[in-house]
A and B are shown apart, each in its own frame.
Chain A
Amino acid sequence: MKDHNRAKSLYLSRIASEFDRLRDDLKKQRLLNGTRDTAMARFAEIGFPTKRHEKWKHTDIRSLFSCQFETAEAVSLKKEAIDPFLLLGDEENFVVCVNGRFDRKLSRISEEIIACSLAHAAETRADLVDTHLAKHLGFQNSAFVALNTAFATDGIFIYVPDHTIVEKPIHLLHLSDNERATAYPRHLFIMGRNSRIQLIESYHSLRKSPYLNNCASEIILGNNARVEHLKIQSEDEQAFHIAARQVCQSRGSLYSSVAIDLGGSLSRNDLNVLLDAEGIETNLYGFYLARGSQLVDNHTFIDHAKPHCQSAELYKGVLSDHAVGVFSGKVLVRKDAQKTKAFQQNQTLLLSQDAKINSKPHLKIFADDVKCSHGATVGELDEEALFYMRTRGISEENAHAMLRYAFAQDVLAHIGNKTARQRVEEIVMERFKEHVN
């Protein structure tokens, strides 16, 4: 306990001195100018969450303090370095972030959209950036968002003008190439009215190292905008991945998210969606796969503020060895949000005695004319199905893999882009084969 306290205070003092060290450089940037000091001050007040915080009850972040994190430096990579991580071959637009910084040379984007460095956008599209950045994703109650707001120097800015349909998906490729450093990717995506886009956000590592990615994103959808957002978190298994995303939807818009968590020693995703107009549809799907001593934590919050909206949420996971899963899904239906339809489900397969899931689906309903349901199940593979398959000659190993894969399909089938879906299916199937005892 004492060691932990010492590690924590050391870590806190390092963060403070890191901020002092960088202060002058940070001040030169237009990005987040004026907000950084407030965010840092807020962080100093609230500090890191402990297990006494309701939202961190099952996720102990103390292992973070044993690593001495500096802010990750910019690194320039060769084109060949990114090739293995491109999902769609020549078919995709992609932007590359290395250690949280936008790399223009490695990126390839068609012209109908604006996708650039957020630091750059803060200069050139100040109107949009000033209106939205750090206006939706609050740092008052989140130490990690506060730190991101204080330290972020770059990230990805995407603006899709009104009535623009982006045909090819955009791959937001994040690579970490550092030792024990922290990167603060900061993203702002603004979708105009009647616009349409597919986003594929992925995280990979070029080194085996216990680095931290502290990510923060804000996504704003105009009226009738449609966004399909796939995120693949495939960090190194020693890494820490802590990500907060705030989505704000306008009338008639559709936001559909599929979140795949595969890597990381500790990964935490906070995904908040605000449905602040009528006729909105929100779909949140998640699939997590953890082994060894991995911990994967998904906290979602769907805020139904207006009538005639619907949300569907399905998170499924497979945990083996000593892995720990956390799912907390909050659906709030405010007094005005009549005729809301909300469905929420969390299902986890535990493949070993020592694997554990803490699941908390919860609905808070203040409107009286709504259709809502929620639930959680925890189980093992269906023994009857396994036996049936084996009576047909299917090996035990293949039978296990097939059943796990079938379990994952309920989520993976929602990946809209076919090539990306097949790629994710391959990755998951590979992992399932490795998983067999």
Chain B
Amino acid sequence: MLLKIKELRASVKDTEILKGINLKVNRGEVHAIMGPNGSGKSTLANLLSGREGYEATGGEVLFDGKNLLDMSTEERACQGLFLAFQYPVEIPGVSIANFLKSAVNDIRAYHGLSKIDAMEFLTLAKDKMKMLDMDSKFLRRSVNDGFSGGEKKRNEVFQLSMLNPRLAVLDETDSGLDIDALKIVANGVNRFHTKENGVVLITHYQRLLDYIAPDFVHVLVKGRIVESGGKELALHLEKHGYDWAIKSKKRVN
């Protein structure tokens, strides 16, 4: 099992946001976690990435059998966890090429591998950029600096495809995208996804799921998963809204 979240409770500034979450993700699976604003979706993503200020107060998270919450942020990344940000950070003065090369090399160093050959890196990068319909000039631009919303999200998926993690958690990757950009981003995620890795999509809306078909859909409300099912659950939510799930008596946990 790739990811196993057991009875996870978490607080932000002493307020409990996650109130006992259970989730299992196997290799080859795509999971969608849907929920209204304030349900704890982003808290879950932040907690998995190790962001400061998000404190697990109970339960556990196993990543490939190892205790994820004991690892530093960079160690999680080196172990193969990737978080695509809802709001990717702008880093003026650091080129995408330099940023990604450092990431690739630091991850390789963690696994005792030598640095990537410069030409090999460039060939790989150009290949992935083509797939995402990105100009290779992007490599020389500063990370997300002055990017449009769509460019930022595309850059997240570009990084995903370059780092090739075992588990990708995408936090509201569809927000702020027009339909064309959404298709490109979804295509990038689909190309990334194989039998060997897992994807967790965190989203408010169903429309991303039109392009990335989930195997499982979970509904997160007030810090708990209140409903789990197949992709038809997403359609049901789209029709009936989250009120339906909140009122639903069928509590999974």
Contact = CB atoms under 8 A, between A and B. Distances in A.
Given A387-B52, A387-B73, A393 B78 contact: yes
Interface of B: 49-52, 72-74, 76-78, 82-83, 85, 88-94, 98-100, 102-103, 106-107, 110, 142, 159, 163
A385 B91 contact: yes
Contacts of B85: 388, 391
A402 B100 CA distance: 12
A392 B106 CA distance: 9
A135 B198 CA distance: 75
A389 B110 contact: no
Contact of A402 (B88, B98, B163): B98
A392 B78 CA distance: 8
Interface of A: 382-385, 387-396, 398, 402-403, 405-407, 409-410
17 contacts: A382-B89, A382-B91, A387-B51, A388-B88, A389-B91, A391-B73, A391-B82, A392-B100, A392-B103, A392-B159, A393-B74, A393-B107, A393-B110, A394-B74, A396-B74, A402-B94, A405-B93
A394 B103 contact: yes
A385 B159 CA distance: 15
Given A387-B51, A402-B98, A402-B102, A393 B91 contact: no
B51 to A, nearest CB: 6
A414 B195 CA distance: 50
A410 B93 CA distance: 8
Contacts of A385: 89-91, 94
A387 B88 CA distance: 11
Contact of B83 (A384, A391, A396, A407): A391
B93 A409 contact: yes
B114 to A, nearest CB: 16
A383 B73 CA distance: 13
B73 A390 contact: yes
A393 B103 contact: yes
A390 B73 CA distance: 6
Contacts of A407: 93
A403 B92 CA distance: 9
B83 A394 contact: no
A385 B144 CA distance: 11
Contacts, number: 77
Given A390-B50, A395-B106, A402-B94, 16 more contacts: A382-B89, A388-B89, A391-B50, A391-B73, A391-B74, A392-B77, A392-B82, A392-B163, A394-B102, A394-B106, A398-B102, A403-B93, A406-B93, A406-B94, A406-B142, A409-B93
The listed residue with most B CB atoms (<10 A of its CB), out of A396, A406, A409, is A406
Contacts of B72: 390, 396
Given A385-B91, A406-B93, A407-B93, A393 B51 contact: no
Nearest to B142: A406
A392 B99 contact: yes
Contacts of A390: 50, 72-74, 77
Contact of B77 (A383, A384, A393, A410): A393
Nearest to B85: A388
Contacts of B93: 403, 405-407, 409-410
A401 to B, nearest CB: 9
Nearest to A392: B103
Nearest to A388: B89
A390 B110 CA distance: 13
A403 B102 CA distance: 12
Nearest to B107: A393
Contacts of B110: 393
A65 to B, nearest CB: 42
Nearest to A395: B106
A403 B106 contact: no
B89 A395 contact: no
B56 to A, nearest CB: 17
A325 B102 CA distance: 31
B110 to A, nearest CB: 7
Contacts of A391: 49-50, 73-74, 76-77, 82-83, 85
A394 B49 CA distance: 13
Contacts of A406: 91-94, 142
A388 B50 CA distance: 11
A72 B51 CA distance: 57
A96 B106 CA distance: 42
Given A391-B83, A403-B94, A406-B94, A384 B103 contact: no
A407 B106 CA distance: 22
Contacts of A405: 93-94
A382 B106 CA distance: 20
B106 A398 contact: yes
B72 to A, nearest CB: 7
A403 B91 contact: yes
A409 B93 CA distance: 7
Contacts of B90: 385
Contacts of A410: 93
Contacts of B103: 389, 392-394
B149 to A, nearest CB: 16
Nearest to B165: A393
Contacts of A383: 52
B221 to A, nearest CB: 27
A393 B166 CA distance: 13
B204 to A, nearest CB: 22
The listed residue with most B CB atoms (<10 A of its CB), out of A383, A387, A392, A396, is A392
A318 B19 CA distance: 44
Contacts of A409: 93
Contacts of A403: 91, 93-94
Nearest to A402: B94
B52 A389 contact: no
B172 to A, nearest CB: 15
A231 B140 CA distance: 28
Contacts of A402: 94, 98-99, 102
The listed residue with most B CB atoms (<10 A of its CB), out of A382, A387, A391, A393, is A393
Contacts of B98: 402
Contacts of B94: 385, 402-403, 405-406
Contacts of B91: 382, 385, 388-389, 403, 406
A89 B42 CA distance: 55
